[in-house]
Amino acid sequence: PGPFPGVIDIYGVGGGLLEYRASLLAGHGFATLALAFYDFEDLPKDYSNLHLDYFEESMYYMLHHPQVKGPGIGLLGISLGADICLSMASFLKNVSATVSINGSGTSGNRTIHYKQTSIPPLGHDLRRSQVTFSGLLDIVDIRNDLVGGHENPSMIPIERAEGPILFIVGQDDHNWRSDLYAQTASERLQAHGKEKPQIISYPGTGHYIEPPYFPMCPASLHKLVNKTVIWGGEFRAHAKAQVDAWQQILSFFSRHLGGTQNRVSPKL
């Protein structure tokens, strides 16, 4: 019986609805909403801009759900989903804790809108991509430089966030340089008088840090470039990182959302 601490779970540029991570969180005592934002049912088939009004509606839904205890919500996102979560934490109220898994802390390739505020896209140049020895594409350097560092206008204003932020970083991320972005986000917070955030970096770990014992995804189709790209990671190191990162995420949410971390007894 609830109510339970609430979490909104968002995936990345692949679109659609992915529920397995939300299901696992639910098994640990969190009322979790797996939130699709494009290419699912009546949602748009692609995204040209990101409007936070849609995500604000999901916050309202969770905060008023009888099984969610509040007073705040946790956010969990990976890749583009992480940047959406960081944007939500920056502009929306009642976000108590945010976990960014290999996010960039920037607007990336699309403008982020909320009411009268717009964050311009950082942009990229596909000419900076490289073809690996296996014939797959490496896009780690296609993004434009963060000119001006943490004051770049494409940076998400995370200093506005009310709750703490946990950055989970794969040091061998080949989607973009997550370690650099996390450090830049940390510099931005401290420059605005905020505490240094918790950053957990994993050597030999690629972009798709999934829950424990999920197979590592070394490469797959990337919708942005419409080609197969490498995600980085060494199998053993990546697998170990997934086990540890999951425990770190559960502990972080339990600490800041008031969860008990009591797990539902398995049926098998």
Nearest 5°: phi and psi at 166? -110, 125
**Cα angle 144-55-107, degrees, rounded to a multiple of 5:** 5
Nearest 5°: phi and psi at 140? -60, -25
Predicted confidence pLDDT, tens digits, the chain (268 residues) = 889 999 999 999 999 999 999 999 999 999 999 999 999 999 988 887 899 999 999 999 999 999 999 899 999 999 999 999 999 999 999 999 999 999 999 999 899 999 999 999 999 999 999 999 889 999 999 999 999 999 999 999 999 999 999 999 999 999 999 999 999 999 999 999 999 999 999 999 999 999 999 999 999 999 888 899 999 999 999 999 999 999 999 999 999 998 655 555 666 6
Domains of the chain (ranges plus CATH)? 4-123+153-214+233-257 (3.40.50.1820)
User: 246: Cβ–Cβ under 8 A, 6 or more apart, which residues?
Assistant: 211, 212
Q: Structure pTM? A: 0.95
Active site residue 125: no
Q: Which of 54, 53, 67 is nearest to 7 (CA)?
A: 67
Which of 58, 79, 87, 104 is flagged as catalytic? Answer: 79
Which of 150, 174, 207, 222 is flagged as catalytic? Answer: 207
Which of 83, 138, 172, 173 is flagged as catalytic? Answer: 173
Q: Which of 182, 233, 243, 181 is nearest to 207 (CA)?
A: 233
Active site residue 220: no
Active site residue 79: yes
Evaluate whether 181 touches 108 at the Cβ level (below 8 Å). Answer: no
Structure tokens at 5: 């601490």
Q: Is 17 left (phi over 0), alpha (psi -120 to 50) or beta?
A: beta
44 preceded by a cis bond (ω within 30 of 0): no
* H or E stretch at 130: strand 130-131
d(CA 194, CA 134): 44
User: 163: Cβ–Cβ under 8 A, 6 or more apart, which residues?
Assistant: 72, 89, 95, 96, 97, 98, 256
